[in-house]
Chains A and B, each alone.
Chain A
Amino acid sequence: MTGFVDLYTEADTFLHRMDPRVKIAAVLLLSILAFLLSSLYYLLVLLAFIFLLTYLAKATMSRTMFALKFVLRLMVLIIVLWPLFDPSGTPVLASLGPVKITVPAIVRGLTSAVRVGCLATVWYILMFTTSQRDLVRALVKLGLRFDFGLTLAISLRFFPTFISTIDSITDAQRARGMELGRGRLFKRSKNYVSVLVPAIVSALRTADTLALALQSRAYGARSDRTFLTEIKMRGTDYAALSVVLGLLVVPLVAKYFFSVPL
């Protein structure tokens, strides 16, 4: 009902309560860490850590897997295809003409796949524990101009409505014998036009009323503005931020200054 863009689920966990700015920072830092690490072993450790976070966020495994199903497919694809296109290294397990399956290539494939898994899951946790409202507010507090933030919020709010309008339009056209994806090229594009045009017109009409509604609520009437709810950093948020910074800084220093093979 709220569209696949809103993965947010209410729950009472420390991750849900954390200041959204810290969460955004954490996700960015952990993403950088995922690229920083090149050892499969340490990446698996990172993945395990991230799964621990999903557990702490009370996101059930089945929900997580469902939300990440595209990512899972991508990971499988990477694991399977990588060795086929990367013939370097030894020992060689099998070969057929120019294609050589080597153990290092398999490891590299797995490493990339796990990296993708880490990235996707950590961003999923962000979306799962943070409402769209808080995300937008965090971005605004971090410096995004208020009207950009409002535009983003409005787009997120109308996205599911737009999807539902497209569904309705598609139904209406199907009831006129239109079948999407069938017919020769010209007919097929005309079929898509029959859905696109009403969709765009509907969006424009909504935008029109929306603009008037915003004006009538005195948007932009003054240069200052109050915000009903505020997000404030608390002690726990600072602590979490330092932990995450540490998580990034320690491996960074270890890898580049002490040549630890991470």
Chain B
Amino acid sequence: MRALDLRNVKFSYRGSDVPALDNVSLEVEKGEFVTVLGANGSGKSTICMLANGLIPHAIQGDLEGIVRIFGLDVKEHEIAEFTTKVGMVFQEPESQLFCMSVEEEVAFGPENLAVPRDEIRERVEWALELVGMKGYNDRSPFSLSGGEKQRVAIAAALSMRPEMLVLDEPAYALDPIGRIGLYSVLKDLKEKHGMTVLLAERDAEEAAAFSDRLVLMKGGRIIESGPPRLMLRDPEDLRAIGVNPPQVAEVASLLNTRLMISRFSFLNVDEAEKAIVDEVLALKPGGRQ
């Protein structure tokens, strides 16, 4: 059973004639970390809203095609059945935290699910630990930085023990420290916990490196999809959908062109450094090594 199954989905927001999604088919397997890349208006947020049932239940519009979340058809089940399986983190740190303390916020989800009190307490501690916010229980939202707020939002989704986590541009408003903290949490979720994650991004710099798959979107359609190394091989592919390619990927591509080879592919600075030192610089006539 797939985590998410979209088949020939077409969706227009109410009041809009332009479809936000136009004949989109997408599968997300359990345990996969999928990053959807696209410019503003490409449809990536719409996919996030579909992935947890908010479309069509909480957001009005015309939905055609099949949307199945963990096997359940989104049109045939109540939203509650999806919100228990799929956790959601929105762009704006401020407006998705509505409780007066971190603890209350993280407990809110399980409380709504009538989870027994002791278990709620355990889940709150577990979720806060996972996002690196252990001990922040009594802090109020005002006292948190943007990055901390987003991590609390992730914890608040995780405490519901979802089977899939959906994040819509979570690093939108964050400063560098906040971004680093956020992506490190996502990386942990993938590598240490095997969480199924659907991430929508406008920028490819961070998550591309550790995603299982990149999905490139433009104008409400999926242009291509595949593993990061394949998708980042030609930076033009990303520029064509209005997304800046990661700098190291550009370095790889330029080196490939200049050296007339095709084997270089860098997903992060470490890989780039190693390959360059071992293969490019080592061979300088009389060079260091």
Contact = CB atoms under 8 A, between A and B. Distances in A.
Q: Does chain A touch chain B in the assembled complex, meaning CB atoms less than 8 Å apart?
A: yes
Given A206-B94, A227-B111, A228-B107, A157 B100 contact: yes
A41 interface: no
Interface in B33-69: 52, 54, 57-59
Given A161-B94, A209-B90, A216 B115 contact: no
Interface in B59-101: 59, 79-80, 83-84, 86-88, 90, 92, 94-96, 98-101
B98, B110, B112, B116: residue with the most chain A Cβ atoms closer than 10 Å: B98
Contacts of B83: 215-218, 221
A133 B101 contact: yes
B104 interface: yes
Given A1-B142, A157-B141, A215-B54, A221 B94 contact: no
B177 to A, nearest CB: 21
Interface residues of A, number: 33
Contact of A158 (B98, B107, B110, B113): B98
Contacts of A160: 142
A215 B103 CA distance: 19
B124 to A, nearest CB: 8
Contacts of A175: none
Contact of A217 (B101, B114, B141, B156): B156
Contact of A228 (B52, B87, B121): B121
Contacts of A132: 100
Given A153-B100, A160-B142, A211-B58, 13 more contacts: A154-B98, A209-B92, A213-B95, A214-B98, A216-B86, A216-B88, A217-B83, A218-B84, A221-B84, A222-B112, A224-B114, A225-B112, A227-B117
B12 interface: no
A228 B106 CA distance: 11
B109 interface: yes
B23 interface: no
Interface string A148-185: 00000110111011000000000000000000000000
Interface residues of B, number: 44
7 contacts: A1-B142, A217-B83, A222-B80, A222-B112, A222-B113, A227-B111, A228-B104
A226 B115 contact: yes
Contacts of B111: 225-228
A131 B100 CA distance: 10
A217 B109 contact: yes
Contacts of B157: 216-217
A212 B54 contact: yes
A173 to B, nearest CB: 21
